[in-house]
Amino acid sequence: AAGVIQSPRHLIKEKRETATLKCYPIPRHDTVYWYQQGPGQDPQFLISFYEKMQSDKGSIPDRFSAQQFSDYHSELNMSSLELGDSALYFCASSPIASPYNEQFFGPGTRLTVL
């Protein structure tokens, strides 16, 4: 079965650089969630999209932005990177009109900021 695809899997950047993380949801999933997991931490919700519109926003820095495109894939753009942005970034997708909100997670992108 198709799963959530995230690219790249690993990314190394310098401070103050920018990064773009991509997420391709499972086919026919219209909702995408982004989570950030710092070292030794639990995943924290960043932002979500439903039908290409932002549906909810969590503790996402102003330096970050995201969008969902017409093919439902999503991109998380991160600018002016800081050391503290080093983390594992997960994308999850949810089926159309799922009242139970079962989320399927991708393998994550590990971002290292030097």
For another protein, which is the closer residue by CB, 73 or 105?
105
Q: Minimum CB separation from another protein for residue 22, in Å?
A: 15
Can you give the C-alpha Rg of the chain in angstroms? Answer: 13
Looking at residue 9, what DSSP letter applies? Answer: S
Q: Minimum CB separation from another protein for residue 85, in Å?
A: 19
In three-state secondary structure terms, 10 is strand
List interacting residues with another protein (CB under 8 A).
31, 33, 35, 41-45, 48, 55-56, 58, 90, 92, 94, 98-108
Q: Minimum CB separation from another protein for residue 27, in Å?
A: 18
For another protein, which is the closer residue by CB, 50 or 73?
50
What is the per-residue burial (b if ≥16 Cβ within 10 Å, else e) of 51-60? eeeeeeeeeb
Q: Please, which residues have CB within 8 angstroms of residue 60's CB and are 6 or more apart in sequence?
A: 34, 46, 47, 66
For another protein, which is the closer residue by CB, 50 or 79?
50
